[in-house]
Amino acid sequence: MNQKKKLALVTGASRGIGAATALQLARDGFYVFVNFTSNASKAREVLDQIQAAGGQGELCGFNVAQPDLVDEKLELIAKSHGPLDALVNNAGVTIDSLLIRMKNEDLDRTLDVDLKGAIYCTRAAAKQMMRARSGSIIQISSVVGESGNAGQSAYSAAKAGLIGFSKSVAKELASRHVRVNVITPGFIGTDMTAALTEAQKEAILRTVPMGTFGSADDVASLASFLASEASRYITGQVIGVNGGMYM
C-alpha cells in the first residue's frame, strides 16, 4: 500500500530549538516544512542537514504574526501535500525590559509573534487536522510562563497565555484525535540565550538544580515524542525541560 508521508511544520526552524526539532522530526521520518522569517540562508543550511541525513523537507518562509499569510501557506501545504500531521509552534522573540520601561511596540511585537503567531498557526493547522481526525500540535512556551521572571513580563505574558490557549484548544480538539501539548524549556543554549552576559548566565545557573544549561536537542527529543504515536493518549499537558529549575 502507498502510505502517505507524515508531514510536520516547524515554525522558526532556521536556528536553535526549531532547527534541532526539524532535524529530529526528519530523522523520525516526517517530511518537514522548515519555516523562518528573515534568515533564509540559515534555514537552507537546516534543510541541507536534513537532506544529508537522508531526510526530506522544504523551506516554507513566512512571518507567523501575519494571519492571512499563515492561512495561505498552510492551505498551500494541504493542497499540495495533504494535511499536516504535526505542527511545532516554536517561532519566538524576546524583548526584555522592566515593566515601567516597556515600550508599546515591544509589547505588541512580543504578543504578536510569541502568542498570536502560535494561535494563527494552530487555528490553520487545526482545520486540516480535524478533517483528517488526527494530528499533534506542540507549543514551545517557556519556564518563565510558569514561574515569571523580572524583566520578562511581556514575554512571560505571551508564554503563559500560550499555556491557557493550548489547554482550551486541547479540550476542543480531543474528540477529533488532535492533541495539543506544551513544552516549557528552561534555559537552553541558543542565539536567544547567547545575548546574556556572563554574570546573568552565572545567576541563572544558580537557579538550575542540574547546574547546566540545556541543549536544543533536549527540547527536540520531547517534541519528537509528542509528535509520535507513542504519545497518543497525552493531550493538554505542560511538560518542562528545565533541569529542575521549576517543578
Catalytic residue set:
155
How many positions of this chain bind ligand NAP (CB under 6 A)?
Answer: 32
Site track for ligand NAP across 149-188, x = CB under 6 A? ------------------------------------x-xx
Which segments of 114-205 are extended strands (E)?
A: 135-140, 178-185
Residue 208 makes contact with ligand NAP by CB under 6 A: no
| Residue where the block lists cell 536556528 | 15
Could you say which of 31, 36, 120, 165 contacts ligand NAP (CB under 6 A)? 36
Residue 11 makes contact with ligand NAP by CB under 6 A: yes
| Residue where the block lists cell 509589547 | 107
Could you say which of 23, 91, 129, 226 contacts ligand NAP (CB under 6 A)? 91
Distance separating alpha carbons of residues 102 and 151, to the nearest angstrom: 9
Grid cell locating 151: 524583566
Cβ neighbours for 242, distance < 8 A, ≥ 6 positions apart: 143, 184, 185, 186, 187, 208, 214
Site for ligand NAP in 101-120 (CB under 6 A): 113, 117
CA 128 to chain centre: 19
Residue 7 makes contact with ligand NAP by CB under 6 A: no
Which segments of 133-202 are extended strands (E)?
A: 135-140, 178-185
Q: Kindly calculate the radius of gyration of the chain based on its CA atoms and give it in whole angstroms.
A: 17
Read off the DSSP letter of residue 114. Answer: I
Residue 193 makes contact with ligand NAP by CB under 6 A: yes
Could you say which of 108, 172, 191, 202 contacts ligand NAP (CB under 6 A)? 191
Could you say which of 6, 7, 10, 12 contacts ligand NAP (CB under 6 A)? 12
What does the binding site for ligand NAP look like in residue numbers (CB under 6 A)? 11-18, 35-39, 42, 63-65, 90-93, 113, 117, 140, 142, 185, 187-188, 190-193
